[in-house]
Structure 1
Amino acid sequence: MTSVDLAAGPSGPRPKRLTAGRVGLYAFLVIAALFFLIPLYVMIITSLKPMSEIRLGNLFALPSDPSFYAWAKAWSSACTGLNCDGIHVGMLNSVKILIPSVIVSISVGAVTGYALSFWRPKGSNFLFAVLLLGAFIPYQVFLYPLVRMLSIVSLYNSIPGVVFVHSIFGLPLMTLLFRNFYAGIPIDLFKAARVDGGGFWAIFLRLMLPLSTPIIVVAAILQITGIWNDFLFGLIFAGRENFPMTVQLNNIVNSSFGEKEYNVNMAATILTALVPLFVYFVSGRWFVRGIASGAVKG
């Protein structure tokens, strides 16, 4: 009989003692959960109330007659400036920006991180330092030069222009993630592939890429949430006809005409946040697994 069996006893494992530290931990977790859940609760119930009920000031009261009118208006007929087509137009623009930006930034970051981990060209350490430095320089420093550059090549105020900007600014972080991940892979695998005649692309596509699923999921979560929640680049580089969902939401909430419809504002906010919430709920375990397998090591 092992020590685990002795500790468990004939009737199963013993219950853990309720110590002061454990009580404090549970109390902290409950408070942290309430800190994030209470605002969400207020947003949901407010979006289900008519304005006549909201004016009563009962912030935490459940709606007496729940209605999805505010959700329908936020989606299809809320005014985002001069246009009253709802927030769904911005969602389509966000998807057009998101998909190519995520694919390009992750693809280039994976190849760059792979090259800096195993092939190490001359000056690779300096190149990596420059890329890493780019991750910590404020975006605002580059705004005017980028506006001028994109205007010269006719990409300003366009979807390809904002995709280019997101891809470039996502490259330092993506390179860092993939380089640190590949640095944790045994070098013997790479050497064996080289002995078998594998070249740069053959080793990357047939060996490294199949091993990269956890870190690809981590990179995708970071890029999807970062790009979807972006406001500044979408406002400056996308153009009025291509505003993403976050810019449309700002135009709805900060409209200076007519009555402030808080139920519509709350519904539009929740609709805007659905994509990142869905990504986190669906792939949360992959995110933890990717971090544990080397995403932040190096």
Structure 2
Amino acid sequence: MASTNPKQYEPTPSRKVAFLGLGVMGFPMAGHLALAGHKVTVYNRSSEKALAWCKEFTGAYAPTPREAVADCDFVFSCVGNDDDVRAIMLGADGAFAGMKPGAILVDHTTASANVAREMYAEAKKRGLQFVDGPVSGGQAGAQNGLLTVMCGGDEAAFDAVKPVAMCFSRAFTLLGPAGAGQLTKMVNQIAIAGLVQGLSEAIAFGQKAGLDMNLVLEVIGKGAAQSWQMDNRGKTMIEGKFDFGFATAWMRKDLGIALEEAKRNGARLPVTALVDQFYADIKEMGGARWDTSSLIKRLK
């Protein structure tokens, strides 16, 4: 990434920052911070990944979140789920125990709105600031520094961290108070689930009808049916290629969060619940790591 990085960074003063969690998203996100000239310390549950990051980028590694965030102005995190968020932030070795007063933590994990509000309240008690900022754009968006970040929290904290976060973002937007970022990510995933199922059915139908589906998508992609999914996944769906992209297992996690939230707020998600079960079928087919566009395999 360091040698072919196409991102053009807006000039910002170099800040001391930490990044907690170096998965497929966090690894390149932290890399963009380093490439933009910030002083980055990383933490990852498996030290091998953190050491690999340090070989690729200029930065330091710390063995605990508490040590990683020492003296940092901003802390970014991207882990797996609610429990992982609590694990890296709370406790004697957690980030909150090591952050300096007034420091800001932005959590990019896709998690529940409840845990976002919980971490926001805990940060406030400690004289810290917390922003929930789940992302959209997938691994490619992280690698290219073009993520869409949906934020919840206080405006002052958001405004302070935005210039630095734009190193890995194309859009970094405040949607409301704590939890609003996570709720917006749920809206995003609900919309995608229905789109992918509809596109799967359309392509499978066209193939059964004997149409040249590459040509069909080229034509209808210029009209009202156009979508990001059609533009970026249509051809690979036709070709039956799914060994890339956003894993169905991750999508099931995200849809589960949305369905739980719907139980609390009374929203009705009949199509989302159905597509979630379709993804369960894909998992049974051995596709837990296939791209979400693999829904079409159920129709073959």
* TM-score normalised over the length of structure 2: 0.23
Q: Indicate the structure with greater strand content.
A: 2
Q: Indicate the structure with greater helix content.
A: 1
Greater RCO (Cα-Cα under 8 Å, separation 6 or more): 1
* Rg larger in structure: 1
